Structure 1
């Protein structure tokens, strides 16, 4: 299942909150456009103008939305034990994991990152933004910087990346997870020099 969060900012440990979660299921390599999740969340604080300028969600939009904790619990129920996929998923997972205790849920699902898989498969290119990866793979980008729009775009990117993984001798979930972990470690070592 592919998901994305829109937030009040980039620093959840400094009080930034989720304002929207969107998700779509993938079944047997097909994006299930009829099986989506999309909820606005009231972060309990004003949404900064900069954040609104990116995702378009204003204080008025979330005034009657359920609190973040309820939205996180509902998303957790929707996700179940599915593999969670995202584009730069560490960002979104950080927001969710910081809410686990308060929401009495646990996000211990396996995760795959479409960004890391793109880097693994196309490291020769310097561009790994969602737009550049989508263009390289022939995926249209719609609803950019909306949780559901980015989920749908990432799902289409992910299904195309999965088709390319056997060329890298990656054919199982555990092999894909190991490959992305190696990419993280390789990038960490590169930054050290």
Structure 2
């Protein structure tokens, strides 16, 4: 997302070989099998690629503590520091719709009319695309409430810190 628009073609989509068997229950949900990840990059290489992709950017995620904990847990294998500024759409949802609302990605997509194609449900690419779409829809809503800079948005999200850890 650049200047409030999704940039077509700006995508990093790759499978990662976890180095251990993928549980059958995970394969049923995410549709990723051991055969699909055989020979793919390990977490170290995949993390370095993502780090290069995100260089100089704000990382936007839905429930960022989950994803960032994983990246930080493997930072030594990646040889990188995850010091990017972070914006969490869970917290943006709380700012815009109230802390007592449901803030799952599905609920946010439904609230904003964002459709995740069935083929992309429960995939990193599908979730990232949905997160980008809801972000783009929420940015003008935030601006209408006087939050036009990252700092202003961050200050407001910190009022909802009990929902999620502040990673900034």
> TM-score, normalization: structure 1?
0.79
The residue matched to 2:13 in structure 1 has which SS?
A: strand
Q: Distance in 2 between matches of 1:49 and 1:56?
A: 10
Is 1:179 matched with 2:156?
Answer: yes
SS of the residue corresponding to residue 44 of structure 1 reads coil
Name the residue aligned to 1:47: 22
Which residue pairs with 2:33 in the alignment?
58
Residue 33 of structure 1: how far off its partner (Å): 2.5
Provide the rounded CA distance (Å) in 2 between the counterparts of 1:81 and 1:124: 30
- The residue that corresponds to 2:74 in the other structure is 99
Structure 1 partner of 2:142 = 165
Counterpart check, 1:90 vs 2:65: yes
- Structure 2 CA distance for aligned equivalents of residues 177 and 54 of structure 1: 33
Distance 1:183 1:169 in 2: 17
Q: Does the 8 Å contact 1:46/1:59 carry over to 2?
A: yes
Give the gaps of 5 or more residues in structure 2.
none
- Distance in 2, matches of 1:94 and 1:35, equals 24
- Number of matched pairs: 162
Offset at residue 73 of structure 1 (A):
0.6
Number of the residue aligned with 2:6: 31
Aligned ranges for residues 132-143 of structure 1 at < 5 Å? 132-142=107-117, 143=120
Shift of 1:181: 2.1
Instruction: Give 1:125 shift.
Output: 5.9
Q: TM-score, normalised by structure 2?
A: 0.90
Give the distance between the partners of 1:54 and 1:116, measured in 2 at CA: 26
- 1:40-60 deviation digits (Å, cap 9, x = unpaired): 111111111121122111111
Structure number with the higher strand fraction is 1
The alignment yields a C-alpha RMSD, in angstroms, of 1.6
Unmatched runs of 5 consecutive residues or more in structure 1: 1-25, 189-193
- The runs of 4+ residues in structure 1 deviating greater than 6 Å are none
TM superposition shift of 1:167: 3.3
In structure 1, C-alpha distance between the alignment counterparts of 2:31 and 2:8, rounded to whole Å: 22
